[in-house]
Structure 1
Amino acid sequence: MTAAARLNALDTLPADELCQLAATALAALVDVMNQETTLLRAGHLRQASVLTPDKARLAQDYVGFARSVQRQTERLKRDAPQAIDRLRHGHEALATQMAENLRVLATARNVTEDILTDVAQIVGQQNKARAYGRAGTITADPASSARGIAVNRAL
């Protein structure tokens, strides 16, 4: 089936059916994002990362339905006004969940980077030759502190 045929099939669905499909995709996306947020808050980064493919698929599904709803807004307002209102409220819940999810992701990323930076500095200090400088203190070379440590910024 071509992309145009898929779009046409979505756009010609009965109003209630299209809204229900969009609402189901929306609820599933909010649910998986909530699961991810909960796992991240608990520090279970690997378990949270397992949800990424589902989250991406659900987001793609929802965007497809949402675009169809946008294209068919006038018809849907006329034929299924309550369903449109439920979708609007669901979309607001998604926006709230996304903001929370992004906040927790940013926090987890910052904490991870801070830990890795601290580890890199400690490892670099342990491997550094100790010598006294002109002032009679041990000199530190900050450029060598991260030698041998790599940071994966994929999170």
Structure 2
Amino acid sequence: MTAAARLAALDALPAQELCTHAEQALTALVDVMNQETTLLRAGHMRQAGQLTPDKTRLAQDYVTFARAIQRQSARLAAEAPALVQRLRAGHESLATQMAENLRVLATAKSVTEDVLTDVARMVGQQNRAKTYGTAGTVASDGASAAKGIAINRAL
């Protein structure tokens, strides 16, 4: 089935069915994001990372339905105004959950960077020669502090 045929099939769905599919995708996405946020808060980064494929798939599904609803907004407003209103409320819930999820992700990233920077600094201090310089003080070389440790900032 081509993309155009899939879009036409979505657009041809009865109002009730289209709104129900969108609401189910929305609810599932909010649930997965809530699970991820809870796991990140608890420090379970690996388990949270395992939710990424589901979250991505559900987000794609939701966007597909949301675009179909946008294309059919006039028809849906006439045929199922209560369902459209419920979807709007659900979308606001998604926006709130996304904001919280992004805040927790940013905090986790910051904490991880701080920990890795501290570890790099400690490793660099252990590997530094402790000799006296010409002024009678222990020489310090800040450039060697992070040898052998890289920080991936792509989180």
Please give the TM-score of this superposition, normalised by the length of structure 2.
Answer: 0.97
Say if 2:82 is the partner of 1:82: yes
> Match of 2:46?
46
CA displacement, residues 23-68 of structure 1 (integer Å, 9 cap, x when unaligned):
0000000000000000000000000000000000000000000000
- The range that moved more, 1-10 or 135-144, is 135-144
1:91 aligns with 2:115: no
For residues 72 and 138 of structure 2, the distance between their equivalents in structure 1, rounded to whole angstroms, comes to: 72
Q: What CA distance in whole angstroms lies between the structure 1 residues aligned with 2:100 and 2:152?
A: 23
Q: Which stretch shows the higher mean deviation, 102-111 or 142-151?
A: 142-151
How many angstroms apart in 2 are the aligned matches of 1:22 and 1:146? 49
Aligned position for 2:134: 134
Gaps of 5+ in 1: none
Distance 1:16 1:23 in 2: 10
Please report the RMSD computed on the Cα atoms of aligned residues, expressed in angstroms. Answer: 0.8
Q: State the Cα deviation string for residues 116-135 of structure 1 (Å, max 9, x = none).
A: 00000000110011122333
Matching residue of 2:68: 68
CA positional deviation for 1:138: 1.4
Q: What is the letter of the counterpart of residue 78 of structure 1?
A: A
Q: Secondary structure, in 3 states, of the residue corresponding to 1:139?
A: coil
Q: Taking every aligned residue pair, what percent have the same amino acid on both sides?
A: 73
Alpha-carbon separation, structure 1, partners of 2:58 and 2:39:
18
Structure 2 stretches lacking a partner, 5+ long: none
TM superposition shift of 1:109: 0.3
User: Which runs of 4 or more aligned residues in structure 1 lie more than 4 Å from their structure 2 counterparts after TM superposition?
Assistant: none
Deviation sequence 1:103-153 (CA, Å, 0-9, x none)? 000000000000000000000110011122333221221111110112233
Which amino acid is 1:135 matched to? A
Q: Which amino acid aligns with 1:132?
A: Y
Match of 1:9 in 2: 9
**Which residue matches 1:115?**
115
Matched residue type, 2:118: D
Q: Which amino acid aligns with 1:96?
A: T
Q: Distance in 2 between matches of 1:150 and 1:56?
A: 28
Residue equivalent to 1:59: 59
Moved more, 46-55 or 132-141: 132-141
1:43-100 alpha-carbon deviations (Å, 9 max, x no partner): 0000000000000000000000000000000000000000000000000000000000
Q: Distance in 1 between matches of 2:71 and 2:134?
A: 74
